[in-house]
Amino acid sequence: MTDLTDLFLIFAARQCFHALKLVKSECLPSLHIARCVSTASVPRITTHYTIHPRDKDKRWEGVNMERFAEEADVVIVGAGPAGLSAAIRLKQLAAEHSKEIRVCLVEKASQIGAHTLSGACLEPRSLQELFPDWKERGAPLNTPVTEDKFGILTKKYRIPVPILPGLPMVNHGNYIVRLGHFVSWLGEQAEALGVEVYPGYAAAEVLFHEDGSVKGIATNDVGIQKDGAPKATFERGLELHAKVTVFAEGCHGHLAKQLYKKYNLREKCQPQSYGIGLKELWTIDEKKWKPGRVEHTVGWPLDRHTYGGSFLYHLNEGEPLVALGFVVGLDYQNPYLNPFREFQRWKHHPSVQPTLEGGTRIAYGARALNEGGFQSIPKLTFPGGLLIGCSPGLMNVPKIKGTHTAMKSGMLASEAIFSQLINENLQSKTIGLDVQEYEENLKKSWVWKELYAVRNIRPSCHSILGVYGGMIYTGIFYWILRGMEPWTLKHPGPDFAQLKPAKDCTPIEYPKPDGKISFDLLSSVALSGTNHEHDQPAHLTLKDDSIPVSRNLAVFDGPEQRFCPAGVYEYIPLETGEGSRLQINAQNCVHCKTCDIKDPSQNINWVVPEGGGGPAYNGM
């Protein structure tokens, strides 16, 4: 079997060969014609092949669309805590039983951890199970929690709230971490065990056997012009086939969306609900630095009907560093709400600003997170594949933690997969293995029990009292009954459907950033290290290019220009002076997936750009 690394080298050689063709005179006319056709056609926003098929595009006639294929036992999509824990556990089991199992893991980020963003306060339970000797191995858990603070903010004051023993917000025994660094460390452990880890290769397509089971994935094609035409260096992606494909894409994975529909995985669960988390790293005055302190707040600047809150963590990383952030539930109703500007405004609160004064902001980023909880977990297995981690939404919402549950789900998945792989008497009904034992084992684990116990806390915030009703519910029912109440509350529906027309809402006036505590959006995005190849089709695709202006702008005053935390969507006046058009600045995208979630017309479909593109977070 050809080693996958060798195959990538073959790809690189073929790209060089195609590049040399440019010197041939016969190539030049065809390139010129392609440009002429592109400029002569009616201008359109979306040029991606998922919207405009290449088999109907004359520019693609004669282009070699052959793909190389590789075989593995297990392919894992996504090198986050869940995917890496799954890969590690598979290799641990293989070593314990003296079995050879090929595990390939693909990750769209150029480096493991570069797309990872979280608070993060880590509960080490799963890590302890995966590596009992994690301290000796040098896991980057440098800051044990020493102090827990919670409060309600009014515009000028902070009302302290006691954290009673047993409440989800208790962080005793947890660690404040830079999750990107932790994920990078997990990647090193995986590679040491023999996992084939391939960063910079985005899984763009799910492949299927003729019997309908998952066959594997294909990585994205490279060498496509912004207008959708092939470059001379065009190369098809690789096909990775496996007996089982594990999808660990993180929150709102674009492949998981397809699997939900094909296998009707969400038939018996409620719609997923989401939040957007925005985060910054600061170095502060050492006199204000309290290593190990964890602070959370709810309230101002949000109203009681808008779910959200803040975090401020003091890290012990050899310098006076704090991680701070703001989460806004994406079921908010006012289209004028701007999560980024709410975050900037929050930093000026009298209880927050003094910590930051004299400090320096060094990093910024954003990511969507699952908030649906237990009610929104889909069916997790299907022929040939399964879902783990934050992809299906295994986050404990009131804890604001999902890393420990994600890791455990990956470990349980691997144990069930391994059992089938070594079963010589296994008789599978499909070519791709259907590992239903994974879901059965997850439901018997502490993960399921934990998520079930807190299932009603998030939906309890939809009462007339809003967030404060949720706090009352937590204090009475969770603290006393520990989630054993004989009812399960429902979410109001998908987040995009909660947005009200602009005419029914009041515009929100935000203060201008001062450049010291609060900042503008573009200077913030610059700190994320985000970069994409400019000459490629925008990966923020529109099913209908007319919808943004005819509906989103007309009815909701263009909410995408406010809910995007990276300035990707911009309405610009037409040259005629009458009306506007939508401009997509795809190179700014930090891969948060908020647009795909909150677009009131569900017209935006996020797909992967060329592998390696996106943010370059350093320990976010």
Token pair listed for 491: 């979410």
Alpha helices in 370-421 (DSSP H): 403-421
Q: Compute the distance between CA of residue 412 and CA of residue 426 in angstroms, rounded to an integer.
A: 19
Task: Give the residue among 100, 116, 117 at the shortest CA–CA distance from 108.
Answer: 116
Q: Compute the distance between CA of residue 286 and CA of residue 178 in angstroms, rounded to an integer.
A: 19
**Cis upstream peptide for 229 (omega within 30°):** no
**Cis upstream peptide for 168 (omega within 30°):** no
Task: Give the residue among 501, 617, 519 at the shortest CA–CA distance from 557.
Answer: 501
> Pick the catalytic residue: 104, 121, 390, 564?
564
> Pick the catalytic residue: 47, 118, 184, 518?
118
The DSSP-derived string for 486-517 is S------S-GGGGPPPGGGS---PPPPP-SSS
DSSP letter, residue 291: T
Give backbone dihedrals phi and psi of 207, rounded to 5 degrees, phi first.
-105, 145
CB of 406 closer than 8 Å to CB of 387: no
Task: Give the residue among 608, 596, 501, 604 at the shortest CA–CA distance from 556.
Answer: 501
Task: Give the residue among 408, 412, 288, 278 at the shortest CA–CA distance from 347.
Answer: 278
Residue 86: in which H helix or E strand, if any? helix 81-96
3-class state of residue 87 by DSSP: helix
Task: Give the residue among 341, 289, 347 at the shortest CA–CA distance from 313.
Answer: 289
Tell me whether residue 118 is one of the annotated catalytic residues: yes
The DSSP-derived string for 233-288 is EEE---EEEEEEEEE---TT-HHHHHHHHHTTTTTTSPPP-EEEEEEEEEE--GGG
> Pick the catalytic residue: 213, 376, 403, 530?
403
Q: Is 226 exposed, middle or buried (0-12, 13-18, 19+ CB in 10 A)?
A: middle
Tell me whether residue 16 is one of the annotated catalytic residues: no
> Pick the catalytic residue: 89, 178, 341, 367?
367
Task: Give the residue among 479, 407, 364 at the shortest CA–CA distance from 128.
Answer: 407
Q: CB atoms < 10 A from the CB of 341, how many?
A: 20
Tell me whether residue 361 is one of the annotated catalytic residues: no
Tell me whether residue 403 is one of the annotated catalytic residues: yes
Q: Is 273 exposed, middle or buried (0-12, 13-18, 19+ CB in 10 A)?
A: buried
Tell me whether residue 589 is one of the annotated catalytic residues: yes
Which residues participate in catalysis according to the annotation? 118, 367, 403, 564, 589, 592, 595
